[in-house]
Amino acid sequence: MTTYQFPQGFWWGSAASGLQTEGTIPGDGKGKNIWDHWYEIAPEKFFNGVGPEKTSQLYTKYKEDVQLMKETGHNSFRTSIQWSRLFPEGTGEINQQAVDFYNEYINELIANGIEPFINLYHFDMPMPLQEKGGWLDRGTVEAYVHYAKTCFQLFGDRVKHWFTHNEPIVPVEMGYLYQQHYPAEINLEHAVQVGFHEALSNALAVKAYREMGLDGEIGIILNLTPSYPRDENDPKDVKASVIADAFFNRSFLDPAVKGEFPKELIEICKELEILPDYQEEDLKTIKANTVDVLGVNYYQPRRVKAKETPIDHSNGPLPEDYFDYYDWPEKRINPYRGWEIYEKGIYDILINLRDNYGNIRCYISENGMGVEDEQRFLNAEGMIEDDYRIEFVTEHLKYVHQAIQEGANCLGYHMWTCMDNWSWLNAYKNRYGFISVDLAEDGKRTIKKSGHWFKTVSEANGFTVE
């Protein structure tokens, strides 16, 4: 038997977002965001036609949900404030109903011994700002900073863990390179500008938080996907992995933690003449306002090799002009999500942060396994027996434990997600939660086997395996 014991005060919990859980009800005062708009104009793009208004109904069920968090061993939980709920126009008049809801929600978490971790932006641009260009427009940065300051003023007396963005590379990739999020463009120049404005908004929010003198910490949450070369001894493959890493990981990791952008990325942008519009003061702001803490979302690795296929010029330059993806023959795949399962990746990330990023305080802010049609695993008592999820989390936690033993400054583990929730274009196709949600029965919640198991892990601050 081997026991994996974690440091005292370790954060056990899960993560979600406001948009993917809250839902909408008539008269709640929420404004329209890009997801509401896209669903209105193109509902066929959404799995089974399920749009964001039909999310997991947390807006009306939050007290029940907090009790379920308690029953599944949460001592912490991350969610986001919906910008368009607090400011229906993105700026201007505040929605008092939203203030009341978030106050009550935060208070309910704290009253039940669950530390709230609050994120400010999770892909949900208010539509009035998107109509002016969204993150392409510098005015959005100013509006975001006003929104952030308002949140700090309203909730900062109780919320001690703030995060500026969740996965800021995703609006860049999915909105401006690969057409998976609105406005669904393929435009690397726009992608670069969007990324710069997000990085700047992070630094300005960090600056504002510190100027307010609040007694918490502020960070950012990044999906770090290690870029492994096909052959570690081939300089061309290694160079390909470095460039992929610069595009998709270091583009936000370096400015957030070191205050500077990767030189490889700057060189490519100069060569392509697509450097973003910026003011000289912006670089000083980014340099001077790095984060206190880093959230790490990890799902899968990225495997690359030197560019061997012809470059496709039909959509202009793209990151894939500089590398090809590599199909590793030894990979294990989650067949439902199509992602490689590679537990050691979580260890490699933490060691990289230890060695190359000042061993910044960090935690695993997302890790999880999406599975389709989980009702197949329903037992006679009505509980989903998701042993595959228990195995998935256990194997990743072993590597987190190893990294901590070797000096990594990792403070916690949050799984995606607490309860099954709505997921962008996929809606409820793949389920990730510790708790199942039955849409046919008004969102009825039932704890899965993994949720009961997670409570034992949290209470023991570790686990034992044969």
**Dihedral, CA atoms, 155, 161, 166, 168, nearest 10 degrees?**
100
3-state secondary structure of 459: helix
- pLDDT of the residue at 347: 99
SS3 33: strand
pLDDT at 256: 99
**pLDDT tens digits along 397-449:** 999 999 999 999 999 999 999 999 999 999 999 999 999 999 999 999 999 99
Determine the pLDDT at residue 59.
98
CATH number, position 414: 3.20.20.80
Identity at 404, one-letter amino acid code: I
Tell me if 352 sits within 8 A of 319, measured CB to CB.
Answer: no
pLDDT of residue 119: 99
What does the alpha-carbon distance between residue 121 and residue 198 come to, in Å, rounded to a whole number? 10
Contacts of 284 (CB under 8 A, 6+ apart): none
The span from the CA of 385 to the CA of 421, in Å, is: 18
- Chain centroid to Cα 392, Å, comes to 19
Q: pLDDT digits over 110-131, tens only?
A: 999 999 999 999 999 999 999 9
Q: Does the pLDDT of residue 282 top 90, yes or no?
A: yes
Buried b (16+ CB within 10 A) or exposed e, 329-344: eeeeebebbebbbbbe
Among 103, 164, 127, smallest CA distance to 37 is for: 127
Does the pLDDT at position 54 exceed 90?
Answer: no
Looking from the CA of 154 toward its CB, the CA atoms found within 13 Å total 22
Q: Look up the domain containing 330 and give its range.
A: 2-465
Would the pLDDT of 145 be above 90?
yes
Number of domains into which the chain is organized: 1
Closest CA to 370 of 392, 348, 349: 392
C-alpha to C-alpha distance for 464 and 167, rounded to whole angstroms: 32
Residue 311 is given by DSSP the state P
Strand duo 430-431 + 324-325: pairing: unpaired
- Please identify every residue annotated as catalytic: 366
- pLDDT > 90 fraction of the chain, expressed in percent and rounded: 99
Name the token pair of 34.
């890009």
Per-residue pLDDT at 336 = 87
Indicate whether 154 pLDDT > 90.
yes
Omega before 52 within 30 of 0, i.e. cis: no
Render pLDDT for 299-350 as a digit per residue (tens, 0 to 9).
Answer: 999 999 999 999 999 999 999 999 999 999 999 999 988 999 999 999 999 9
Asked whether residue 359 carries a pLDDT value surpassing 90, the answer given is yes
pLDDT class of 74 with cuts at 50, 70, 90: very high
Tokens representing residue 251 in the block: 């583009």
Residue (of 164, 160, 156) closest to 120 by Cα position: 164
Rounded CA separation 462/401 (Å):
9
Is the model's pLDDT at 451 over the cut of 90? yes
Question: What is the rounded average pLDDT for all residues in the chain?
Answer: 98
Asked if 83 and 34 touch (Cβ cutoff 8 Å), the reply is: no
